[in-house]
Amino acid sequence: MGWVAGYWGAGVRGTLVPDYSRDESEMQNAEFRMQNENPAIWAISVFILHSAFCILHFAFRAPGNAQTTPAPQRPSTRILIAMHFQTKAVHAAATPDEATSSVAPAIHLSTTFERAADSTPLHGYTYIREGNPTQSALETALAAIESGERALAFASGIGAAAAVLQTLTPGSHVLLPDDSYYAMRTIARDFFPQWQVTYDLVAMDDLDAVRRALRNETKLIWAESPSNPLMKICDLSALASLAHEHEALFAVDGTFATPALQRPIELGADLVMHSTTKYLGGHSDVAGGAVIFAKNSELAARVEHVRAILGATASPFNSWLVLRGIRTLAVRMRVHSENAMRIAEFLDAHPRIEGTHYPGLSSHPGHAIAKKQMSMFGGMLSFRVREGRAAAIGVVSKTKLFVSATSLGGTESLIEHRASSEGKGTTTPENLLRLSVGLEHPDDLIEDLQQALDGERASRPQSSGVSPGD
């Protein structure tokens, strides 16, 4: 306490610099005088010294000892499997950070990682293209919500699909949906010949057609349900059985339904692909893809090797954004589905609509199967305008809430003339419009479509009733 008394004695005289020139007896006398003549200053000095000691103690102790109370037990992966989907989506890969106890996951942006003295990885990571902690957290969550054993995150959905296809050996045969995402058909047309892989496009909602298309060399059946953009529904359990009878893999593009509404691995699929750019990200601000495997098998290792060598790795920040999106996936998909159902019913009754493609409608050919394998029917639908291509594009030009843009799964509603987006070689009907129904109030969205349909009709030239020959 001598130093403190000297410090504060000097401070009373107008300086904040401790007086180290005093000998020991002077310091003791100063301390004695402080205790008896200035008890208030003495008490403050003791308090400050104690506080300083505590601050130094907590500041310099090892991070690993930062929490003396044992951390609460978090739900293990095994426990999560038994929980409802909403709980899985919130808690998968959500263990608080061990070093800081932060509840929100950290973003690890480092591209490289320190090695041990013997040059082995210290914590399992070496270089960002091979993996990073944020990507690993996302993969843990993806596996949990899709009921798989292993997941791999990618830079895009088509990058994820391509990595699976690149594991096929020369001479393999693949069955693809006749109504599949156009980039999948482009891969088959432009790249399969280089890889010495053959394919057939098949109506996956026709099991007999699938059975007839199978060959001895068929190694993969790839399905979409609902399909893009005609919203066809195929029986995933039946297709899985058919594939496995022929010792082929069964893969499903689950982007439209998401695991909130449909989990193909639980129906027999070997793997599920997602464009996480869409509903899993959920805010139109991140690009990504994923493959989830039913088993942590040699196939998963081969796909991971393709990703690492060819470089379709997900960035840490994009991985973090998708992981954040997963937390609200269940509640978002409920509203997307409810809104889409209302809009589909409106369009189905409108006189200018030739046909509405939405599996939630009882008139949809795949409604019964969709009801069996989906909990709700999703936020995607398409419809055909009676007067053809020009009329359909005219409707798009007159919407005010619906944004004319490609992609899907964000909070905002989008409308798209799909044939224009797909370009040359499209198989989509020219009068078809695709909707990604957002989270706005359904009455406002219906009113927007109503005025666009009415406004487009009013702007079209009216026939005089006189034929050109008259």
Alpha helices, DSSP H, located in 234-328: 236-245, 258-261, 298-310, 316-327
The total number of structural domains that make up the chain: 3
| Residue at 284 is within a domain | yes
| Residue at 50 is within a domain | yes
- Spatial distance between the Cα atoms of 80 and 147, rounded to a whole number of angstroms: 10
215 and 95 inside one domain: yes
| Residue at 470 is within a domain | no
| Residue at 69 is within a domain | no
| Residue at 72 is within a domain | no
Of 326, 343, 373, the position where a domain reaches its end is: 326
240 and 200 inside one domain: yes
The single residue of 263, 278, 418, 434 carrying the catalytic annotation is 278
Is 278 an annotated catalytic residue? yes
Is 205 an annotated catalytic residue? no
CB 409 within 8 A of CB 438: no
Domain containing 8 equals 2-62
363 and 304 inside one domain: no
| Residue at 240 is within a domain | yes
46 and 103 inside one domain: no
310 and 376 inside one domain: no
247 and 185 inside one domain: yes
309 and 387 inside one domain: no
CB 203 within 8 A of CB 175: no
CATH of the domain at 363: 3.90.1150.10
Q: What is the DSSP string of 410-463?
A: SSS-EEEEHHHHH-TT--S-TTEEEEE--SS-HHHHHHHHHHHHHHHHHHSPPP
Is 118 an annotated catalytic residue? no
281 and 373 inside one domain: no
The single residue of 7, 181, 182, 279 carrying the catalytic annotation is 181
The single residue of 205, 235, 253, 348 carrying the catalytic annotation is 253
Cis peptide before 226 (omega within 30 of 0): yes
| Residue at 334 is within a domain | yes
305 and 364 inside one domain: no
- pLDDT in the model for residue 21: 43
Of 326, 351, 373, the position where a domain reaches its end is: 326
CATH of the domain at 217: 3.40.640.10
* Mean pLDDT split into 10-residue runs, the chain, 470 residues: 40 39 46 51 54 46 43 53 90 90 92 93 92 96 98 98 98 96 95 98 98 98 97 98 98 98 98 98 98 98 97 96 98 98 98 98 98 98 97 98 97 97 91 98 98 79 41
Of 326, 345, 366, the position where a domain reaches its end is: 326
23 and 108 inside one domain: no
Burial profile 250-278: b = 16 or more Cβ within 10 angstroms, e = fewer: bbbbbbbbbbbbbbbbebbbbbbbbbbbb
| Residue at 381 is within a domain | yes
Does this model's pTM top 0.75? Answer: yes
425 and 309 inside one domain: no
137 and 285 inside one domain: yes
The single residue of 19, 127, 129, 178 carrying the catalytic annotation is 129
